[in-house]
Amino acid sequence: MKSEAKLINYTDRLFSIFLSDLKKIYTNDKLNQCKSKYLGKNSFLLRYLKKLSALDFDLKIKYSKILNIMKKKFNIIFYLEKKYIKDYMNLNRTNKKYFDVSLPGRKIDYGCLHPITLVINDIERFFYYLGFLTYHGPELEDVYHNFDALNVPMHHPARDKSDTFWFDSKRLLRTQTSNMQIRILEKNSCPIKFIVPGKVYRRDSDQTHTPMFHQVEGLIIDKSISFSNIKWILQNFICQFFQNQNLVFRFRSSYFPFTIPSAEMDIQTSSGSWLEVLGFGMIHPNVLKNFNIDNKKYSACAFGIGVERIAMIKYSVSDIRLFFENDIRFLKQFV
């Protein structure tokens, strides 16, 4: 066995030779060969470490410390050298001079608009061409704008805590985008026609209902507006939206506190069942009075489109909750 001084001197020279060998290495294969030479089974370090078992305890401690420090240096340098070679190879790959055309390309994932956004954009585009303005309003609402001004009576189920998200007795999450009607009419004169897209909230959750959903409210105020006018607009909208002139739909009478007469439109799905997609009607005279509009001079009609409902039919989605689960496998279909 070498003395301690000789061992230190030998390991220093070995380390110098090791550094000299590294300067000639530019590939992982060469680096692995070098690592086997200096840290492999037949390397000086491992052969010497095996001999330590025959030494006295004190010498074993001294020599093993020297050899383990050397081994640690080798491992650190091998790690750094491997990283350097990897970076060097990546740099060459991106350099046009050395670009390997046989390398597989990297897949690029493109984002896309959410299907609900796509549907709202289509709705806004259709009504824009008919001269409708677009407004947006608050989702946190007061009782007056959400219920009172729209002729919703105190005993109406929509006011109940089981149907509406209340903050306190005067504030709630809006249940319809109709809450913007009086605000818009206070700042604009008649005649006017506009739509209000946005989120609304109701306590309901199943395959065709969610606690939060999107609605597009529309209002037309003009002289001699009739029920047939709004029917014609909505019929053309549905055919245009689905790009299908032979779409099967039906109108049926309904009830809304703020319209009279009132009706709803159902569309026949691929399974043969009917799905309600929108409601409409002539604005109730009491609502026009709340708007300070002369109902002898002007008539008005309103409609509300359920965005998720028509999206379900357009994209053949069976469960409305899929739109809100953020499942990338579902959303990728709309790229």
Give the mean pLDDT of 148-160.
80
Between 164 and 96, where is the model more confident?
Answer: 164
Q: 34-38, 88-92, 168-172: lowest mean pLDDT where? A: 88-92
| In a domain? residue 76 | yes
Given a cut of 90, whether residue 285 has pLDDT beyond it is no
Domain boundary among 39, 63, 95: 95
Which pLDDT score is estimated for 60? 73
Q: Total domain count for the chain?
A: 2
Are 25 and 78 in the same domain?
A: yes
Do 174 and 292 fall into the same domain? yes
Report the pLDDT value the prediction gives residue 94, as an integer from 0 to 100.
56
Domain, as residue range, for 214: 115-332
Judged by average pLDDT, the poorest of 64-68, 122-126, 253-257, 263-267 is 64-68
pLDDT band at 204 (very low <50, low <70, confident <90, very high): confident
pLDDT tens-place string over residues 209-238: 788 999 999 999 999 899 999 999 999 999
Residues 86 and 121 in one domain: no
What pTM was estimated for this model as a whole? Answer: 0.65
Are 79 and 162 within one domain? no
Average pLDDT of every residue of the chain: 84
pLDDT at 228: 92
Amino acid 100: pLDDT: 66
Kindly state whether residue 103 falls inside one of the protein's structural domains.
Answer: no
Q: Find out whether 186 and 149 touch, Cβ atoms under 8 Å.
A: no
304 occurs within a structural domain: yes
| In-domain check, residue 108 | no
| Range among 72-81, 181-190, 274-283 with highest mean pLDDT value | 274-283
* Residue 264 pLDDT > 90: yes
